[in-house]
Amino acid sequence: MKTELKTNLKAILGRGYVRLVGAHREPSWVITETLLPLLTTAAFVYVYKALKAPEEFTGFVVLGGAMTAYWMNVLWSMAAQFYWEKETGNLEIYMVAPISRMAILFGMAFGGFYMASTRAVFVFLIGSLIFKVNFVLISWEKLILLFLLTQISLYGLGMVFSSLFMLFGREAWHTTNLFQEPVYLLSGFYFPVKSLGLTAGMIASLIPLTLGLDGMRQLAFKGGSEFGLLDVNLEIGGLVLLSIFFLFASHYALKYMEYLGKKEGRLTMRWQ
C-alpha cells in the first residue's frame, strides 16, 4: 500500500514537472494566451462603459477574463489530452505502467494549474491596473475557499472529459471547440449569470465556473451581492458537491475507458 502510494505520487510529480518546465519553454505561448484574452476583456469593458453600466461590471469582466485561462486549460490540456497521447503513441505506455490513471491526470492538473495561473494573474493584474478596478473584499477566507473548490471541481470535470473525448476519436477536436464558446455564455464570464434567469442559471450551475465566478464576484466587489445568483454559502456547498461528484465520475469514466478500450481496441490504435 505504501509502495503503491509512493509510486503514484512520483507519477503525479513527474507528469506535472513536464508542464511546469514546458510553461517557460515557448515564450510565444505566453504572449498569445495572455494578450488575446486581455483584448477580449477590454472589448467588453468598453461596451459596458459605453452603456454606462454600474462600475462593478468592469471588475466582473476583468475577473471573468482571468478565469478563462482555467477553462481553456481544462479543455485543451486535460479534456483532449488522452486523445492526443493516443495519437502520438504514449497512451499505451500509460496503460501498462504500474500506476493509477488518476495519478497521471492529477499530474496534468497540477502542471496545468500552474500554466493557467500565470496567464490568469497577468490578465487580472494588467486588466485591473488599466481599467482601475476597485475591489472591496468581503471575506478573504470564503474567496480563497471558493477559488480552490472551483479549481477542484473544474479539473474533476476535465478528468471526466479526458476519458470521454478520447473515445470520440477524431471528434475530440471538434467536441473541444464545441464546448468552448457555450460555456463562456452559460458561466457568465463577461456578465452576471443572474441575467440568464434563475432557471437557466441553476442549469448552468452544473458547470463549476458558474458558481465559482458568481461567488467570487459577490465577495470581491461592494455591490457584487446585488448581481449574485445564489447566496455565497449555498454556492460553496454546491461546489463541494460538484467536486465530489466529478472526482468519483472521473474514476469510473477511466475504468470504463479501459474496459471499452480492451474490448474494442480503442486505446493503442486509431479507431474511427
SS3 state of residue 269: coil
Q: Give dist(CA 4, CA 29) in Å, integer.
A: 36
Q: Give dist(CA 234, CA 94) in Å, integer.
A: 39
Residue 205 has pLDDT above 90, yes or no: yes
Q: Give dist(CA 78, CA 108) in Å, integer.
A: 7
Domain extents for the chain?
Answer: 2-264
Average pLDDT estimate for 16-38:
74
Residue 268 has pLDDT above 70, yes or no: no
Instruction: Give the model's pLDDT for residue 72.
Output: 83
Local confidence band at 223 (pLDDT 50, 70, 90 cut-offs):
confident
Write down how long the chain is: 272
Average per-residue pLDDT for the chain: 84
List the grid coordinates of 240. Answer: 463541494
What's the pLDDT tens digit per position in 100-130?
A: 878 888 888 888 888 888 889 988 999 999 9
CA gyration radius for the chain? 19
Residue 58 has pLDDT above 50, yes or no: yes
Residue with the larger pLDDT of the pair 38 and 31: 38
Q: Give dist(CA 265, CA 207) in Å, integer.
A: 32
Average pLDDT estimate for 136-145:
91
Measured between its terminal Cα atoms, the distance across the chain in Å is 39
pTM of the full structure: 0.87
Instruction: Give the model's pLDDT for residue 199.
Output: 92
Instruction: Give the model's pLDDT for residue 272.
Output: 44
Residue 200 has pLDDT above 50, yes or no: yes
Instruction: Give the model's pLDDT for residue 271.
Output: 43
